[in-house]
Amino acid sequence: MSPTNTVPQRKPLFRGVCASSVTPIHADGTLALDRIKPHIDWLISEGVSAISPLGSSGEFAGMESDDRKRVLDASIIACAGRVPIVAGTAHVSTRLTIELSQHAERAGADALLIVPPYYMAPTPAQTMDHYRRIAEAVSIPVVLYHNIPLTGVNFRTAHLAQLFREGAVQAVKMSNPEPDRIASLLQETEGKMSVYAGIDSVAFEGLCHGAHGWISGIPSLVPAPAVRLYNAISVKGDLAAARMIWAKLAPLMRLQFSAYHSGGDGAHWFSVMKAGLNMIGPEVGDPAPPVLPLPKEFHETLASLLRDLGYEVRAHN
């Protein structure tokens, strides 16, 4: 497919901290749609600049398309235009990604968050075509979710910059443990492409490089301290204050991603997230299997880290 030259001018994207909202579920695994508004109200009260339903934290990969549409509709209604909605609409097929993306635009989403098709691991060239087809089908901005471990697609800086120059994507959530991937993309596009730190282990460095914002686990679990870090680095340029904030956030990051970074040993990032949210915010339920609730052995450590960040922690069974 040839690069598109007819992509319309798209609205500007947010700057700042974006929380990936979770999908509340009941104990029997069914959607708890009535819990979406309290959850989103809490995230907004914490000061986030945007909310992204149905990203990794929304457990989209285990949901049927109709349920994903119901969750997104409820999230957009709950948000009520208070902050932009960046809707996760990725699917394993281009056709279904377009269907979900068009639904999101009609429902009122401000932008789309789309991870490359997973499992089949298309080549970079094939995946670039995937994004071009999506761009032709919608008029709101597309944020490409760069996540190599969970997709098998390794876009290089040149690929991403090319998609940006064509107008197929407007931004990247860079979930790569190498901070220079953020720096190189910002430099290649002269800062015109919105680049977001997409994994907490590179958030500090990424923001120092000039990333436009942060979308990951910490902003979704403890948004207020994440906002303070963003403001210290990106608004005030106060590196000394930022280091003090990060010194309290880093232990939570290390706990949350302990299994991810070790290849299996430790706590699962999403088990930590839902357990933590249940301790400090409105009830959101447990993860959907195969991900299980956080083992009891990690509860007090998590609670202590949350208290150290200024949160009142409730007991959670």
Q: Catalytic residues, which ones?
A: 145, 173
Radius of gyration of the chain (CA): 18
The count of other CB atoms within 10 Å of the CB of residue 297 is: 8
Longest dimension (CA), the chain: 56
Q: Which residues is 196 bridged to in the sheet?
A: 173, 213
- Token pair listed for 229: 């870090």
- Token pair listed for 82: 């208070």
Preceding amide of 290 cis, omega within 30: yes
All residues at 6 or more sequence positions from 193 whose CB lies less than 8 Å from its CB, including other chains: 160, 161, 164, 170, 171, 172, 185, 186
**Helical (H) or strand (E) element with 289:** none
